Amino acid sequence: MNYPFVPDDPLLQLALVLVAGILGGELFSFLRMPRVTGWIATGILLRTTAPWHGGFSGLSADTAGELRPFMNFVLGYIAFTVGAALHIASLRNAEKRLGLLLLGEAIVTPSVVLAIMAVVGPLVAPEVMTLKAAVLLAAIAIAGAPGTTVLVIQEARARGILTRTLLGAIALIDMVAVGTFVFAADFLAEGAGEGVSWLEASPAALVTVAREFAIAVGVGAVSAFAAMGLTRTVISPAFLGPTMVAVILGAWGGASGFGGSGILACTFAGIIVSNVRHDTVSSTQAYLHSIGAVLFAAFYTLAGMNLDVSIVTRVAGLVGLYFVARFAGKYAGAYTAMSIAQAPDRIRNYLGMALIPHGGVAVGLLLMVQSDPRLADVAETVTTVGLAALVINQLLGPSGLRLALSHVGEVGMAAPRLLDFLDENHITVGISGSTKEEVVRTLAAQLYTSNDHPSIPLEEFIEKVLERESLSSTVLGEGLMIPHAIIDEGDEITGVLGVSTKGIDLGAPDGRPVHAILLLATPTADRKRHLEVLAAFARAITRDVNLREQLYHARSAAHAYDILHAEDAEDINYFLEDAITRSK
């Protein structure tokens, strides 16, 4: 019996795309460029050179479309993971920075893009560039690339204020983009500027935006709470990961069934799970980590196959203008927001560059323009310019993000360091109090708002700290105090740092006011690191006047973090791997 070979089977196509993407990614990695850039470039190359009409490979121009369910799952996984990064308790001290960034993305970025495209665009291509097209392109410009951003950060092993800001903001930025686009599309569809006043068109557009978000929140919440209920009652801990995969599939499918956004639904599901059962998110990420490279390599190679480079030549001037306008808008929005937030200069100067990547949500919004009959008069212009500029952004964006991370000194900082427990969430600037007990209680209360607080009750921990303080004062002089307690349970040291520019009189042996109070909770199993932290802080504060003065006069928790985790702060916050190597 003959079994004919069928070259266009979706699984075979996925295998070919995956292998090609892996090879392309490795080549770009060898050239010291992000793998994601290699995957996208490979996809573009496959679209350009593969034998589309038959042949052994079975690849065709429709391959990416035929594998849409796979791409939707990966987009859902990205959205869920990004939403899970929005853990509210962990974003303490970053709210102002994130809030202002979102305002910059919602107002400054689209305003700059709209102004450039509406004024200069008609001069470049008067036959196709209209105000309606400019409005839609301005809304789409807001969207970022959560998957690309997370991937580059992981590949760079980055950690720091810029990294934290990006991970906390990218999900919210895409929400702003979807909301702004839906409002703009319905606003224009209602006939604004074409016989209908802007005031008449706005209410209907706002109703559509509210409906879109209501569906996403509702479906995401139902999926998340149903799964968490099952894991508490029926499903064993070993199946937490698979259950969260079902949440992703259910949230996307449910939202799509109601005519809503699958990306938003998965994002809200991730936010809910992260803030209700944060440990479950870790289980999901661990479960999918082993195949994460497979998912991303195939997804971004397919994304590259969606982009036809040939369209660039048709409207090259507009494409270049839109790319420049989007970069200018992103940079202006981020720079303005970080200036108002008084973020460290390095973050203010490079955050705009880190926001260059443009990804899956933008593609989805462009497809919405293409499929909406109300926007048919500008669909070709918007999709052609948007997709062509997306090619440039996806090829240059990852490298721009990597360059920004490198310039702010956050590349490679995810390697274990002595003070990893002192992230921005564990630092307070402007602490006050008149007694040791008041200061300890204030810092202990902050420590117990985090996920990694000691396992013993708060009052019991405070009693242990004060009991240790009564035996021997931990006020060391030079403005430093390190109250602490040894607890029986737990694996790793945790703590919180309080900084007072004015200083607090706590009876220091040298008579000086205390400016920095480091409260530590040390498990018995981690006493060695406890002693290292004590020694490193005492040595750095007493010997390094520059570091001491910078820390004592830090304007915000972000500035204090920047001081302690800077490359030149290795005396106080060294890499543990380096310490082990030196000891050997």
Paired tokens of 251: 């949230």
- pLDDT at residue 288 greater than cutoff 70: no
User: What pLDDT is attached to residue 263?
Assistant: 79
**Mean pLDDT to the nearest integer, 516-531:** 81
Q: Residue 96 and residue 134: Cα distance in Å, rounded?
A: 31
Asked if the model's pLDDT at residue 109 lies above 90, the reply is yes
Phi and psi, residue 84, nearest 5°: -65, -25
Residue-averaged pLDDT of the chain:
80
Instruction: Give the pLDDT mean for 362-382.
Output: 79
The average pLDDT across 12-25 equals 87
pLDDT digits (tens, 9 = 90+) for 213-224: 899 899 999 999
Residue 494 phi/psi, 5° resolution? -140, 165
Task: Report, as an integer, the average pLDDT of 486-496.
Answer: 80
134: nearest Cα among 153, 165, 104, 111: 111
**pLDDT score at 84:** 77
| Higher-confidence position of 491 and 460 | 460
Which pLDDT belongs to residue 23?
Answer: 92
Q: In the predicted model, what is the mean pLDDT of residues 422-426? A: 81
Average pLDDT over residues 160-186: 82
pLDDT at 330: 94
Q: Taking 90 as the threshold, does the pLDDT of residue 372 lie above it?
A: no
For the ranges 218-222, 439-443, 461-465, 548-552, the lowest mean pLDDT is seen at 548-552
Give mean pLDDT, residues 174-184.
81
**What's the rounded Cα separation, in Å, for the pair 432 and 100?**
27
**Residue 311's pLDDT is what?**
65
- pLDDT category of residue 192 using cuts at 50, 70 and 90: very low
Residue 579 has pLDDT above 50, yes or no: no
* Comparison of pLDDT for 141 and 279, the residue scoring more: 141
CB 455 within 8 A of CB 486: no
Residue 1: pLDDT band with limits 50, 70, 90: very low
* pLDDT, tens digit, 9 for 90 and up, residues 309-362: 666 677 788 989 999 999 999 999 999 999 998 888 888 999 999 998 887 678
Q: Is the pLDDT of residue 196 over 60?
A: no
- Write out pLDDT tens, residues 264-285: 888 889 888 888 877 666 666 6
The residue among 259, 298, 428, 217 whose CA lies nearest residue 12 is 298
pLDDT band per the 50, 70, 90 thresholds, residue 39: confident
How confident is the model over 102-115, as a mean pLDDT?
93
Question: Does the pLDDT at position 480 exceed 50?
Answer: yes
Instruction: For the chain, give the percent of residues with pLDDT over 70.
Output: 83
Give me the pLDDT at residue 219, please.
Answer: 94
Buried b (16+ CB within 10 A) or exposed e, 162-182: bbbbbbbbbbbbbbbbbbbbb
Answer yes or no: is pLDDT of 295 > 50: yes
- Is pLDDT larger for residue 442 or for residue 416? 442
- Highest mean pLDDT: which range of 137-141, 183-187, 267-271, 550-554: 137-141
- Number of Cβ within 10 Å of residue 251's Cβ equals 33
Q: What is 356-388 written as a DSSP string?
A: ----HHHHHHHHHHHH-GGGHHHHHHHHHHHHH
Among 531, 491, 488, 506, smallest CA distance to 440 is for 506
Determine which of 55-69, 192-206, 294-308 has the lowest per-residue pLDDT on average. Answer: 192-206
Instruction: Identify the pLDDT of residue 137.
Output: 94
Q: Judge contact between 146 and 36, C-beta under 8 A.
A: no
